[in-house]
Structure 1
Amino acid sequence: MTNPTDEDFLAEAETVVAAFAPRRTAGGPAVWGEGDDRVSVVAERSEGEAEEIAALRRYRALLAEHGLAWIEGPAEFGGRGLPPRYADLMRNVEARYDLPDDGYLRFSMATLCPTLLEHGTGAQRAAYLRGLRSAEIIACQLYSEPDAGSDLAGLSTRAVRDGADWVLDGQKVWSSGAHLSDIGLCIARTDPSAPKHRGLTTFLVDMSAPGVEVRPIRQLTGGASFDEVFLTGVRVPDENRVGEVNGGWPVVITSLLNERSAIGREVGVDEALVDRLVDLARHVQDPVDARTRDRLADVVVRSWAARETTAGFLDGGGPPGPELALAKLLTTDILRSISDVAADVLAMSHACDTGEWGTHAWSELTLGLPGLRVGGGTDEILKNTVGERVLHLPKDTR
C-alpha cells in the first residue's frame, strides 16, 4: 500500500485530534496568564490524576479506533506500519492541541512495546501490544533497587522457579507511575552463581498480584510520580517471562535504549517550553537585557541543533543504538539551561510564590530536573556509554 502524502496524513490526524480537544491558543506574550501555569518535566501525582488518566485513555482509544495509536507499529498489533517520520508529524499536530499529559504512558508505549516486539513471545505480543498503545494497559519499570541504581546488574531481587511459576522477592525503587500501572517489567536474579550480568531474567508482573505493595516517594516538587515497590512471594507464571532464563540483560539493554530514544525525541517537543521561556523574559524584563538575550539565543540554537541531531540518529529506521545516550544527554543539558535562565530572570519569584501566574511555577522544572537526569541512566553513566561505545575510547579502570 502506498504511504499517504504528508498533506493527507496531517489532514487526517488534525481531524481526529480536533474532534477530541480544543486547539491551543497561539504562542506569544499575548497569552501570558492563560491556562495551566505548571512547568514540569515529569507527570505529577495530583488530586486530578484519576481524571487525567481517564481522559488519556479516552484519547488513546479514539486514536486506536482511527489507526493512529501506533503509527510506525506493525499492522497485526494495531499499528499503521508507516515510517517513523509520520509519528513525528503526528506529534507536531498533537502539540497544537490541549491534550491529556501522555507522560504517564512513556514507558508503556515508547519502551515496553518495542522491547516486546524484539524479545516477547507471540502470545505476549498479542496479549499486550494493542492495549499498551491504546492505554487500556499501563505499564511501569521495575529495575532500580536501593543498592542497585547505576550498577543495575548488581540487583538482589530474587526469582526462584516453583513448578510452572516463578516466585519473586525483593524491593524496587524509583518506579515511575507504579501506582497507576497494570503490569511491570521486572528484572530479577535467577542464578546467584552466574556472573552478575548473566544470571538475570525479566518478567511481566501483574501489579495487582498478591505480594505486590506500592508506596509513593514524595519528591522535592511536592508530587509523588515515583514509587517504591515491594515484592513478597509474588508468583509469576513462566509464560510471563520475557526472553530466555538468565538472558534478561539483553532485554534490559533494549528497553533502556528505547527509553533514551523517547527522552531524546522529547527535545523536539520542548519547542513550546523554549517559546514560553522567551515569553517569560519578555514579561519580567521589558526590555530584555543584553545578557539574557544572549542566553535565550543560546537555548534556542542548542534546542534546534539537538532536535536535528536526534532526528539524524533516528531517521535510519533501525533499532536504537548507543548513540541515543547522547540524545538523552542533550535533553537534560538543555533543560538545565532553561531552568537556569528562568531562575536568573525570576530571581526571588522563582523560589517564593508571589501569586503571579507563570513565575513560581518554574520551580517545579528546577526541582524535577534531577530526577530526569537519573532516569534512563545517569548522565555520568551515559557519558561513559558515549565514550566507550560510540567514540571507542578506552574503558575506565574498574
Structure 2
Amino acid sequence: MPPSEFESRARVWVTETVDRLGFDRADDFYDVAVFHDLEFGEEKALLDQHRAWQKAKLDAGFGALDWPVEFGGADLGTEAAEAFARIENELCPLRPHELFSVTMHLIAPTIRLLGTDMQKRDFLPGMLRGDLLACQLFSEPGAGSDLANLATKAVRDGDDWVITGQKVWTSGAQFAEWGELIARTDPDQPKHAGMTAFLIPLDAPGVEIRPIRQMSGGSSFNEVFLDQVRIPDSLRLGEVGKGWSVALTTLAFEREGGSNTANVGGQFSQLVETARTLGRDGDPLVRDLLARVYLRQQLAHVDLLRDRQARDADAAPSAVGSVRKIQWVDKLTAVSRAARTILGRNLIADTGAKWTYGWNAHVLGAPGYSIAGGSDEIQRNIVAERLLGLPPEIRADRGLTWRESRNRTA
C-alpha cells in the first residue's frame, strides 16, 4: 500500500526537523538499554532535546495528533498518531525517556479524563508542549506490590492538605516539575476506599528527592520524601476518597501504552544484526530464539491494533491492559534470553566490537519491568478476576479498615 499524503508529509518534516535541531544521526547509533545509564548532565541534556522536539511537533501539528482540538490536539485519530509514531521511531534518533512518556501518555490523559476545568487549563497545554514534566508518586517501601496498602498520609487543614510520607522507584523525579500522588486520607476506611489523588509541585517546601543507583549503572529511579508538604485543595485530582480509581486510570494507561514502549529494550532486527556480527545467525538454537522474539513482536503489533479500536470507540482503559503488560514483559524476557545465548561471554566483557556489549544494559534492566507498573503476579490476578471471572484470591484484610489491617500485621 503506498504511503498516504499524511505519512509522506510527516517523513519530510521529521527528516528536516531532526537536521534543524542538530540531533545525532550517527549510523552506529545503538541503544538497547531498558533503563538509562546516564550521568545527571547527560540525562538532563536528553530531556532538553525531548522538550525541543515536542515543542517543534506541537507547533507543526504533529504533537498531539489523537487529542481533541479543545485541548491543543489535532483530532486526527489514533491511526494518524500511530503512523507518525512509526515514522518518528524510524527517523528520529532521540533515545526515549520514561519521564516524557509518563507525562504525555499517563498523567496528561488522566488529567484530561478526571481533572477539573482549571486543572485541564493549567496543566495540559504545558504538558503537551513539554514545558511541564510529571512523575508518578505511587509506590512505597512498605507497600510492596500492594499499592492500595500505601501509608503516605494527607490531612485536611482548611482549604489545604498537609502530606507526609515516602515514595520510591519514582522514575525521573529529579527532573520533574510535578508529581501525581496517591495518599491515605481516611485510615478508618478499607484500604481501597480511603485514598485521594493530588497533583503536587516537586519544588514545594518539604519535598526531598534522592536518586537511587541501579545495578545497570544509572540513577533514573528516586526516593521522594514528603515532610509536612502543604498544597491547596485545588490540586486534588478527583474526589476525596476516590484515589484508587484515579490510580487505576493512570495504571491502565501505563499498561495500554504499547506504542510508547515499543522500541524500549532492543528489537528483533538488532538481535539479528548482533547474531550476524558474531557469526551465530546459522545456529539452530539462536534461530529458534530469534523466531520467538519475532513472534512476540508481531503479537505486540496486534495489541496496538486492538488499542486503536478501543481508543477510536472512546473506551476507557480496561483490564485488557494487564494482558498487554504481561505480553510486553514476555517479549523483553525473550529478547534478554536471545541476547544471552547469542553473546555468551561477549555480554560481560567490553571488547569494543560493535553490536555486542551494549546488550549488557538490557539484560540487567529487563527484570525491572516484571515489577514496574504492577508486578507480573498482580497483572495475572487482574486478568484472572476481571477478565476470566475466576474467584478473587483470598485476602486476610477483607472487611477490615486500613488501620485495623496495619495493626494486625504490626
| TM-score where L is the length of structure 2 | 0.89
Query: Counterpart amino acid of 2:318?
Result: G
Task: Work out whether 1:210 is the aligned partner of 2:197.
Answer: no
Which residues of 2 match residues 211-290 of structure 1 at below 5 A?
A: 211-262=206-257, 264-266=258-260, 268-269=262-263, 273-285=267-279, 288-290=282-284
Report how far residue 167 of structure 1 moved.
Answer: 0.7
Q: Does 1:316 align with 2:310?
A: yes
- Of 76-85 and 280-289, the range deviating more from structure 2: 280-289
CA distance in 2, matches of 1:299, 1:169: 45
Mark the CA change 1:278 to 1:112 in structure 2 (over 3 Å): closer, same or farther: same
Match for residue 124 of structure 2? 129
Residues 1:365 and 2:362 aligned together = yes
Partner of 2:52: 58
Cα pair distance change 1:204/1:266, threshold 3 Å: closer
Write the letter of the residue equivalent to 1:48: E
Q: Which moved more, 1:10-19 or 1:175-184?
A: 10-19
**Residue number in structure 2 paired with 1:67:** 61
Equivalent pair of 2:138/2:182 in contact (CA under 8 Å): yes
Question: What code does the residue aligned with 1:137 have?
Answer: L
Deviation, 1:268, is: 4.5
CA shift, 1:81, in A, is 1.2
Per-residue Cα deviation, 1:190-243 (whole angstroms, up to 9, x for no partner): 111111111111110000111110000100101011100000011111100000
Structure 1 residues 183 and 44: alpha-carbon distance in aligned structure 2, compared to 1, 3 A threshold = farther
Q: Which residue is equivalent to 2:35? A: 42
> Separation in 2 of the partners of 1:363 and 1:22?
31
8 Å CA contact retained: 2:106, 2:250: yes
Per-residue CA deviations over 1:258-316 (Å, capped at 9, x if unaligned) read 01111x33564469721000111111125521221122122112211232134224422
Q: CA–CA distance in 1 between the matches of 2:309 and 2:367?
A: 29
1:11–1:34 distance in 2 versus 1, CA, 3 Å: closer
Query: d(CA) in 2 for partners of 1:22 and 1:282?
Result: 31
Q: Deviations over 1:2-53 (max 9, x none)?
A: xxx9712212322332222159xxxxxxx9x942333212344424112211
CA deviation string 1:150-191 (max 9, x = no partner):
111111101111122111100000000000100000010111
1:148 aligns with 2:106: no
Partner SS state of residue 273, structure 2: helix
Distance 1:385 1:287 in 2: 39
The alignment status of 1:116 with 2:111, answered yes or no, reads: yes
Give the percent of matched residue pairs that are identical in Structure 1 and Structure 2: 38
Distance 1:101 1:131, change over 3 A: farther
1:169 aligned partner: 164
Matched residue SS, 1:321: coil
Aligned to 1:27: none
TM superposition score normalised by structure 1: 0.92
Q: Which residue of 2 aligns with 1:26?
A: none
- The question of whether the paired residues in 1 share the 8 Å contact of 2:163 and 2:226 is answered with yes
Give the corresponding residue for 1:395. 392
- Aligned match of 1:82 in 76, 87, 99? 76
Report the CA distance between 1:341 and its aligned residue.
Answer: 0.8
| CA contact 1:159–1:190 (8 Å) conserved in 2 | yes
For this pair of structures, how many residues does the alignment match? 385
SS in 1 for 2:347: helix
- Distance in structure 2 (CA, Å) of the matches to 1:285 and 1:266: 32
Q: Which moved more, 1:67-76 or 1:212-221?
A: 67-76
Separation (CA, whole Å) in 1 of partners of 2:265 and 2:88: 13
Q: How far does residue 100 in structure 1 lie from its aligned partner after superposition? A: 2.4
Say which SS state the counterpart of residue 333 (structure 1) adopts.
helix
When residues 35 and 6 of structure 1 are mapped into structure 2, their CA distance, relative to the original with a 3 A threshold, is: closer
What corresponds to 2:190 in structure 1?
195
Q: Which amino acid aligns with 1:291?
A: L
The answer as to whether partners of 1:302 and 1:334 remain within 8 angstroms in 2 is: yes
Say which of 289, 295, 298 aligns to 2:289.
Answer: 295
User: Distance between the aligned counterparts of 2:266 and 2:360, measured in 1?
Assistant: 17
CA deviation digits over 1:297-338, x for unaligned, max 9?
221122112321342244222222101111111111011111
Taking the aligned partners of 1:287 and 1:61, their CA distance within structure 2 comes to 42
Deviates more, 1:135-144 or 1:269-278: 269-278
Which segment is superposed worse, 307-316 or 278-287?
Answer: 307-316
1:44-93 CA deviation, whole Å, 9 max, x = no partner?
44241122111111110011111211111121111111221111101111
Contact 2:192 2:244 in 1 (8 A): yes
* Counterparts in 2 of 1:166 and 1:6: CA distance versus 1, 3 Å: farther
**Counterpart among 301, 305, 327 of residue 307 in structure 1:** 301
Where in structure 1 are there 5+ consecutive unaligned residues?
24-30
